[in-house]
């Protein structure tokens, strides 16, 4: 019998369960046992990590077609290193660890799909690390906006990003909310993004110039204009 990949990823069965999550409901929490994998059918989700001092950071945004909790397939099952939360209403296929391993051994087509996802996630993680180490915060924000714009449905001419707060974007690029606000206003004035009704944000492809070609007029991205900061008047030193 030929393996039907679409059926496997869309329907419940032995070791597989369809689950529905409301916005802000968690798939799993940091510290839980890593024993299931989720395949996100509809909706959007995010991965967050909480440090010992209570500070929370958003490390990834997820869209339909992504797997969530793939660390469950490690040779030695452990604990969750992050929390997965639904951003809006989500439908997902919950797959037990044992079922995932069995299907990957028996069905090469399924193993191929999953391995491609894992490789893509690994490459994205490496790119995020390089971004944090070498790029200025304005360029990091531009990259995050472009990555989120890819969440638009195939064929949609408008690249709206999923709902996200400026605090979450600040956490993802390692800066402050006020700096994100400053950069977002700067992108809007330059025509890279548009604010629409209900707070939706549309990203234009011209923002790629900031990431790929480092083309940004009036360079000094790390500081707001002089008019927005306190000015001090220098006093001439009198010579004796």
CATH number (domain holding residue 72): 2.60.120.10
pLDDT digit string, tens, across residues 47-61: 999 988 888 888 888
- Is-contact 38 67, C-beta < 8 A? yes
Task: Kindly state whether residues 13 and 122 are assigned to the same domain.
Answer: yes
Q: Which of 49-53, 59-63, 222-226, 234-238 has the lowest mean pLDDT?
A: 234-238
pLDDT value at position 232? 36
Task: Kindly state whether residues 153 and 39 are assigned to the same domain.
Answer: no
Whether 17 shows a pLDDT value over 90: the answer reads: yes
pLDDT digit string, tens, across residues 24-48: 999 999 999 999 999 999 988 989 9
pLDDT value at position 27? 97
Token pair 């011209």: residue: 206
Give residues with Cβ within 8 angstroms of 85, minimum separation 6: 24, 25, 26, 27, 45, 46, 48
Reduced to 3 states (helix: H, G, I; strand: E, B; else coil), residue 175 is: coil
- Residue that is last in its domain, among 132, 154, 176: 132
What Å distances lie between residue 137 and 1, 148, 163, 176, 217, CA to CA?
52, 16, 20, 10, 16
Is residue 238 in some structural domain?
Answer: no
From 85, 86, 81, 44, select the one nearest 65 (Cα to Cα): 44
Task: Kindly state whether residues 50 and 127 are assigned to the same domain.
Answer: yes
Task: Kindly state whether residues 118 and 180 are assigned to the same domain.
Answer: no
Task: Kindly state whether residues 105 and 29 are assigned to the same domain.
Answer: yes
Reduced to 3 states (helix: H, G, I; strand: E, B; else coil), residue 58 is: strand
- Residue that is last in its domain, among 132, 165, 181: 132
Q: Tell whether pTM > 0.75.
A: no
Q: What's the number of domains the chain is made of?
A: 2
Q: Which domain holds residue 28?
A: 5-132
Task: Kindly state whether residues 27 and 58 are assigned to the same domain.
Answer: yes
The widest CA-to-CA distance across the chain, in whole angstroms, is: 98
Whether 85 shows a pLDDT value over 60: the answer reads: yes
pLDDT value at position 218? 56
Task: Kindly state whether residues 212 and 149 are assigned to the same domain.
Answer: yes
- Residue that is last in its domain, among 132, 154, 172: 132
pLDDT value at position 95? 95
| Residue-averaged pLDDT of the chain | 81
pLDDT digit string, tens, across residues 105-160: 999 989 999 999 999 888 888 887 777 777 788 888 888 888 888 754 555 555 78
Q: What is the mean pLDDT of residues 176-186?
A: 92
pLDDT value at position 156? 54
pLDDT digit string, tens, across residues 90-107: 999 999 999 999 999 999
């Amino acid at each position: 019998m030929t393996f039907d990949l679409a059926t496997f990823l869309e329907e419940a069965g032995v070791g597989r369960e369809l689950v529905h999550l409301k916005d802000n409901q968690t798939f799993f929490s940091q510290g839980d046992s890593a024993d299931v994998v989720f395949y996100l059918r509809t909706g959007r989700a995010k991965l967050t990590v909480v440090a010992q001092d209570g500070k929370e950071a958003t490390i990834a945004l997820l869209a339909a077609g992504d797997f969530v909790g793939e660390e469950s397939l490690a040779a030695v099952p452990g604990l969750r290193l992050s929390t997965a939360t639904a951003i809006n209403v989500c439908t997902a296929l919950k797959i037990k660890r044992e079922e995932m391993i069995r299907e990957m051994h028996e069905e090469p087509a399924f193993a191929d799909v999953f391995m491609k996802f894992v490789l893509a996630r690994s490459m994205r993680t490496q790119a995020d690390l390089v971004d944090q180490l070498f790029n200025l915060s304005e360029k990091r924000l531009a990259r995050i906006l472009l990555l989120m714009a890819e969440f638009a449905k195939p064929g949609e001419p408008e690249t709206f990003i999923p709902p996200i707060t400026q605090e979450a974007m600040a956490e993802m690029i390692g800066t402050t909310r006020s700096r994100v606000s400053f950069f977002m206003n700067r992108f809007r004035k330059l025509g890279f993004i548009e604010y629409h009704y209900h707070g939706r944000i549309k990203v234009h492809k011209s923002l790629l110039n900031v990431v790929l070609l480092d083309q940004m007029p009036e360079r000094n991205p790390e500081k707001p204009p002089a008019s927005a900061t306190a000015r001090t008047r220098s006093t001439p030193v009198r010579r004796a």
